[in-house]
Each structure stands twice: as structure tokens, then as C-alpha cells.
Amino acid sequence: MNALQEMNEQEQIIKLEIMVRSDRVFEEVYDADSPRVIEETKIFTERAKIPTIFNGTWDRLKTKSSLNMEIIGTFWHHFSSLAPQVMCIAAAKVSNNLMRHYVVQVIFEELGSRNHRMIHPDIFLDCLGKLEVSDSRRGELVNKYLSYLSFDYLIKIMNEADSDSKLLGILLGLEIDANENISTVYDALSYSDEAEELVKKSPFFVMHKVVEDEHIRLDVSNYLRFCPTEKNKEEFREGFDQAVLFWKMYWHGISRIIDKEKMI
């Protein structure tokens, strides 16, 4: 390859970088190395008190069992199917297309980016199928216990959010414990050596080892971009706290379901 060809290819790469990361051109960059992103992520992580979200659940999951796997898997699939719909409420409600541009980035990834075969709830369901969790078993659990999981509360707080800042805060609250959520689901599904081998190879878990920190970064960046006033910040924190409460209700509900099913 001659020098001219190398220069042309380099120019194309630079142009592609500009298109893909237009925030580098038009505004301050809030990437993973940004001191402000790192600082605010730490502040919100501490505010969430993440271990308290899983009070009781982690203790129950110390015992590996196919029952725990079925329950965790069934309702995580239900959540992962609902999440893009809930986030789309926020995307529809924010007041301008610049905010909408950043909100839909996470939705786009949840729905497989440019590959419909990688829609997250679908590849998670494929993992459940390999663990032999049947549609009828999932349907049975959902019919009996769906009301335990506070999904109505989640939709309610999103529908009732009365400011952009609160909507954006809810979105960060839904992502802030993402790594712990995925780790908990992984451990529950890995109830045997054979199951763990299947789970470890699942595209869902391979992917989520990479994307969760990026989703948190995107939502923290929205706080930095769109919440300049103290009123904005307070509204964001209010929405954030509401979403963290959802997670506490969700995992408390999972614990109740485990206890009830063990008695059958």
C-alpha cells in the first residue's frame, strides 16, 4: 500500500469517527475517562446503596437450585422485555430531540443495535431455552406472581414524571445497579456445572459484561449535559431515587416468590 492510499484510508477512518462520535465535535466529551463522569458515577452509586437493593435475595441464592434458576430467569426475561418499552416512554416525553438522541442510544442497544437477532430479551430467552425452562413453566410463574414485581409502579413513575430531569434520573436509576443485576442473574442461572457452561457461552451474558458500564456512562452524561441548575439536579435525584426503589421492590418480590415456591 502506497502513502497516498494510506492517507486516504486514514481520512475515511477520521470521517467515520466524526460521524459515530459527533459529541466529540459539538460538545464536551463525557466519555468513560472524563473526571466528571467518574465522579458523578461514584456519587450516584453510593446514593443507591446497591447492596441494600438485594437484601435477602443474595442470601436465598447462596443455595443453588433449578427452582431459583426458573424464577430469576422468568422474571428477568419479563423485565428485559419491558425495559425498552419503559425507556421509550421517556424518549417520547423529553422535550427536545437532542435529549431524545441520547436517550434512544441505550434503547437501540437493548434492541440489538443493527442486528435484530441480538435483541436482548430474545437472546436471554434463548439461554433459558437451553436451560430447559419451558414456555408453560414461565407462563405459570408469571400468572401466579407478576403482581409481586412492581412493574406497574415502574410504568407509573415514568408516566407521571413531570420534567425532563426526572425522566433522565429514572433512566440512570434503572441502570445504576446493572452490573449487580446481571451478576445476580448469572449466578442464579448457573445452578450446576453444566448450566454454568451454557450460561457462560450465552451471547446475552458475554454482551452484558461489556455494555452495562457504557449504559451507566450514557445516563450519567445526560445528567451532566441537561441538568445545569440545582432544580434540575434535585428533580434528577428524585427520579433516580424512584427507580432505585423499584429495584428494591423487584428483588424483594423475587425473594417472596422463592419462599412461596419452596413451600409447594
- Could you tell me the residue range of the domain that residue 221 belongs to? 64-262
- The pTM for the full model equals 0.88
Taking residues 161-172, what's their average pLDDT? 98
CATH code for the domain of 257: 1.20.910.10
Determine what percent of the chain is predicted with pLDDT higher than 70: 90
Taking residues 104-132, what's their average pLDDT? 91
Q: How many domains does the chain have?
A: 1
Cα separation values, 82 from 57, 86, 126, 149, Å: 22, 6, 17, 12
In a domain, 243, yes or no: yes
Which of 36-45, 181-190, 198-207, 251-260 is least confident?
A: 198-207
Residue 25 scores a pLDDT above 70: no
Residue 77 scores a pLDDT above 50: yes
In a domain, 49, yes or no: no
Q: How far apart are CA 18 and CA 92, in angstroms?
A: 27
Q: b/e string for 75-89 if b means 16 or more Cβ within 10 A?
A: bbbbbbbebbebbee
In a domain, 100, yes or no: yes
In a domain, 4, yes or no: no
Q: Is the Cβ–Cβ distance between 197 and 127 less than 8 Å?
A: no
Q: In sequence order, which residues have a C-beta less than 8 Å from that of residue 75 and are 6 or more positions away?
A: 141, 142, 145, 149, 253, 254, 257
Report the first-to-last Cα separation within the chain, whole angstroms. Answer: 70
Q: Is the Cβ–Cβ distance between 240 and 174 less than 8 Å?
A: no
Angle between helices 164-175 and 97-110 (to 10 degrees): 20
What is the predicted pLDDT for the residue at 212?
86
- All cell numbers assigned to 148: 409481586
Q: Please report, as a single letter, which amino acid is at residue 28.
A: E
Taking residues 77-83, what's their average pLDDT? 96
Higher confidence at residue 141 or residue 11? 141
- All cell numbers assigned to 263: 413451600
In tens, the pLDDT along 40-58 reads 999 999 999 999 999 999 9
In tens, the pLDDT along 207-232 reads 887 788 889 999 999 999 999 999 99
Side-chain-side CA neighbours of residue 212 (13 Å): 17
Closest alpha carbon to 170 in 110, 221, 108, 246: 246
In a domain, 175, yes or no: yes
DSSP 8-state secondary structure symbol assigned to residue 149: G
Q: How far apart are CA 35 and CA 37, in angstroms?
A: 5
DSSP 8-state secondary structure symbol assigned to residue 27: S
What is the predicted pLDDT for the residue at 209?
76
What is the predicted pLDDT for the residue at 8?
59
CB atoms under 10 Å from CB of 122, counted, come to 16
In a domain, 24, yes or no: no
In a domain, 58, yes or no: no
pLDDT tier at 118, thresholds 50, 70, 90: confident
What is the predicted pLDDT for the residue at 2?
52
CA dihedral of 205, 210, 216, 218, whole degrees rounded to 10: -130
Residue 132 scores a pLDDT above 80: yes
pLDDT tier at 9, thresholds 50, 70, 90: low
In a domain, 170, yes or no: yes
Cα separation values, 50 from 158, 174, 245, Å: 21, 12, 11
Q: How far apart are CA 36 and CA 47, in angstroms?
A: 16
- All cell numbers assigned to 82: 419491558
CB atoms under 10 Å from CB of 152, counted, come to 10
